[in-house]
Amino acid sequence: MEGLSGRILGGLVGAASGDAMGAATEARTTEQILSYFGHKVVDFETPPDDTFGAGNVPGQVTDDFSSAYFIAQSVTEAGGRVDETAIRKALIEWSKHAVFFDRFAGPTTRLAIRVFQGEKIESSARVDMTARQATNGAAMRISPIGLINAGDVDGAVRDAVTAAMVTHDNYLAVSGACAVSAAVSAAAGGSADLYSVLQAGLYGAKEGEKAGRKCAKDVAGPSVIKRIEMAVDIGLGPGTPDEKMREISDRIGTGLHVSEAVPAAFGFFAASGGDSMETIISAVNAGYDTDTAATMAGAIAGALNGISSFPEHFLPTLEEANHFAIRALSERIVSVVESKQERKAENE
């Protein structure tokens, strides 16, 4: 098992890789992916002209990891403190990068950022409904919160509630974000395995729902908790990884609602036995919102297995294609985690 540095870097590369690979397959079915590329997508590809990622080069990410990247930067600059100010600062900074924001940002986050920047939004039924949407937008960018709380699952849940509520203030979105954050935290902690990470994710979903019902809006939609249970049952059940991928896609879905993409990410992770690349490949080839599902699944698997679980060209390709300093960011996260651990030891 890799050390903390390898696991933190693995979590970042896993999330970024899932996003970049999924950008080439988003909105297609599995059959359409196979037909267009002639094979399963297992590496960085140029997104077709009819996808949201059209114009991206291989290895270039979309809104999923780019927003997570700016959140990680802002929180590490704040010494690991996760509060509304740090999250707002990150999202405003992200919105200034047109290559990521203008092309990909979802309506819930766009509306929230307009408010952050001081714009007066007239209340209307349409605006109120947008703010209540239980989409996967908070969960897709939450993995750095789990990394910053490596090994502290309760801290990861607590901070995920804070981060999610800034833009997605409904209990289902909070539940989904907490599930991913908790799983990443457990995976990066150093003593986890496939099953303990899955258990942490389910624990996070339950605690996130509990917290969300107290501080967030009620909203219509399926239970994230029950959908994760269903997806994991499929993932750990009989069949080949490819058969399980299709079953998860058909029964759980991989769409924009938080009760689809988040549970599906856990299902792919389970179906692949926790293997980093197999997890991402399953999510990328399942169809629909592939970049989001693969971002979350990749973050969980990458944090568990570390940077050595990815091909050597992945990190330099991601850094060059996006002009990101991912390794340097990982080192700052490690410093934050170590400082937290030292303070905790002093207080015990």
Residue 49 confidence (pLDDT): 92
Task: Please give the Cα distance from 175 to 168 (Å, whole number).
Answer: 11
Residue 131: its pLDDT value, please? 44
Contact 290, 245 (CB under 8 A): no
Q: How far is Cα 64 from Cα 281, in angstroms, rounded to an integer?
A: 17
Residues 6 or more apart whose Cβ sits within 8 Å of residue 219: 132, 133, 134, 170, 171, 172, 173
So what's the pLDDT on residue 101?
57
Residues of the chain with pLDDT under 50: 124-131
CA distance 12 to 326: 7
Residue 124: what pLDDT? 43
Q: Is the Cβ–Cβ distance between 266 and 231 less than 8 Å?
A: yes
pLDDT at 94: 85
What are the start-end ranges of the E strands in 250-323? none
Structure tokens at 234: 């499929």
pLDDT for position 42: 98
What is the spatial distance between Cα 182 and Cα 187, in angstroms, rounded to a whole number?
A: 9
DSSP assignment of 116-153 equals HTT------HHHHHHHT--BSHHHHT-HHHHHHTTT-H
Q: Give the integer Cα–Cα distance in Å for 129 and 41.
A: 36
Please state, in angstroms and rounded to a whole number, the distance separating the CA atoms of residues 247 and 138. 25
Task: Say what the pLDDT of residue 318 is.
Answer: 98
Closest CA to 59 of 310, 332, 279, 329: 310
**Arithmetic mean of pLDDT over the chain:** 92
Nearest to 97 by CA among 137, 66, 131: 66
Could you tell me the residue ranges of all domains in the chain? 4-347
User: What is the Cα–Cα distance from 14 to 141, expressed in whole angstroms?
Assistant: 13
CA angle 22, 10, 286 (to 5 degrees): 25
pLDDT computed for residue 129 by the predictor: 44
Whether the Cβ atoms of residue 281 and residue 245 lie closer than 8 Å to each other? no
332: helix, coil or strand?
helix
Residue 98: per-residue pLDDT: 62
| CATH superfamily placement of domain 4-347 | ADP-ribosylation/Crystallin J1 (1.10.4080.10)
Find tokens 């030891």 and name the residue: 345
State the amino acid at position 157 in one-letter form: V
Q: What is the pLDDT of residue 100?
A: 64
Could you give the CA distance from residue 277 to residue 269 in angstroms, rounded to a whole number?
10
Q: What is the pLDDT of residue 307?
A: 98
Inter-CA distances, 312 with 5, 13, 285, 329, Å:
16, 11, 22, 18
User: Which residue is listed with tokens 């800034």?
Assistant: 166
